Structure 1
Amino acid sequence: MAVRVCSLKFDADRDGGPQSVPAGGAYHVVRFPYGAAESYDADNMHPQTRNGTDHPFPSDPASGLIRPAHDAWGRLYAMIQWETAAGGAATEFRDQFVRDPLGTPDTTCTEHRPPSPGMQCFAKAWAIFVSPDVPLALRVAHDADRPLDLVIAEFKLEYDA
């Protein structure tokens, strides 16, 4: 049995600046770069081109998708870091894993958190059934009255195949 892993990382310092998350409380897919910027994707579960369509980072929300290579019991992991000033602007930070985020979203492991002292860094893990027919994403939101910047994010899928 082999362990399959797709490990994505976004870092504002490396990847062209932060991802701005609009005010208003709506969830937004976190987007991840392709190729050498990725931590690991040996099974091409984070393809830039799918069915002949290019999904450029960071402009296309599809750049935030992981497409599992097999049906399996999968383990999802995420780490999210907001801009330094975010704790003074928001009273709640939100994040969730979602199946089919660009179609009919099915959310799981939704968390709403108050700001923490110091940096706004959050990590999470969750296990779910995954399928090649259903893409996965990490989504974030906040309740500030202005856009807030996401400066680092990681999104990982691991399963046995």
Structure 2
Amino acid sequence: MSVVISSLKYEAAHSGAQKITYDNDGYHLVRFPYEVSEESYDPWKMHDPARGGGQASTYPDTRSGLIWPSHDGWAVLSAMVFWEADARALEYRARFVRDPLGVSTGYDSTATNDTTLTRGGQYRTYLWQMFVHPGTPVGLKISARGVGDAKIAVPITLAEFKLAIHTDVKTPS
């Protein structure tokens, strides 16, 4: 069985604070630097700044939040997000999205997760499986909500986003 992988990591300590801005869907597309770090891995160039537009993307523009699958196949998407403490936030949401910027097949969210505030740090992991295709990028979107479902720009201090594609699976047409 052949597996191709893209593993991205964002750390506030290395990349600076990630400004949280909400899109029309009420979520923020998490951005990832293009530089390879000790935990980033992308030999198939699925997180390539040249993909998805006329000129090269630069971190932290929205395209830096995309992974472009290099193969058709069954994929495992996983993510980890560490949120800064913020007493205003009552719940934390995350979702995986096919084409989050609407550049190919259209926005298609899946695996939305909603968790409440815990007494300790707000550290979350997420996992989902689905078919992926080279022409359709995937992204990780997050949101923190407060009283009355108000969106709160709670900074994240760490995020990882990983895509593992099993390439020998027959995909639907």
With the length of structure 2 as denominator, give the TM-score of the two structures. 0.84
Partner of 2:116: 114
Partner of 2:8: 8
Partner of 2:26: 26
Q: Report the Cα offset of residue 148 of structure 1.
A: 1.2
Percent sequence identity is 41
Q: Report the Cα offset of residue 28 of structure 1.
A: 1.1
Partner of 2:161: 155
Candidates 92, 105, 108, aligned match of 2:107: 105
Higher strand share: 1
Moved over 3 A (4+): 22-25
Q: Report the Cα offset of residue 125 of structure 1.
A: 0.7
SS in 1 for 2:90: coil
SS in 2 for 1:36: coil
The total of aligned residue pairs comes to: 157
Q: Report the Cα offset of residue 52 of structure 1.
A: 4.3
Is the CA contact 2:72–2:134 (under 8 Å) kept in the aligned structure 1?
yes
Moved more, 37-46 or 134-143: 37-46
SS in 2 for 1:53: coil
**Aligned residues: CA RMSD:** 1.8
Note closer, same or farther for the CA distance 1:126–1:119 as it changes in structure 2 (3 Å cut): same
Is the CA contact 1:109–1:126 (under 8 Å) kept in the aligned structure 2?
yes
Partner of 2:171: none
With the length of structure 1 as denominator, give the TM-score of the two structures. 0.90
Is the CA contact 2:22–2:28 (under 8 Å) kept in the aligned structure 1?
no
| More RCO (CA 8 Å, sep 6+) | 1
Moved more, 31-40 or 123-132: 31-40
Query: Mind listing any 5+ residue stretches in structure 1 that lack a counterpart?
Result: none
Query: Mind listing any 5+ residue stretches in structure 2 that lack a counterpart?
Result: 168-173
Q: In structure 2, what residue type is equivalent to 1:2?
A: S
Q: In structure 2, what residue type is equivalent to 1:48?
A: P
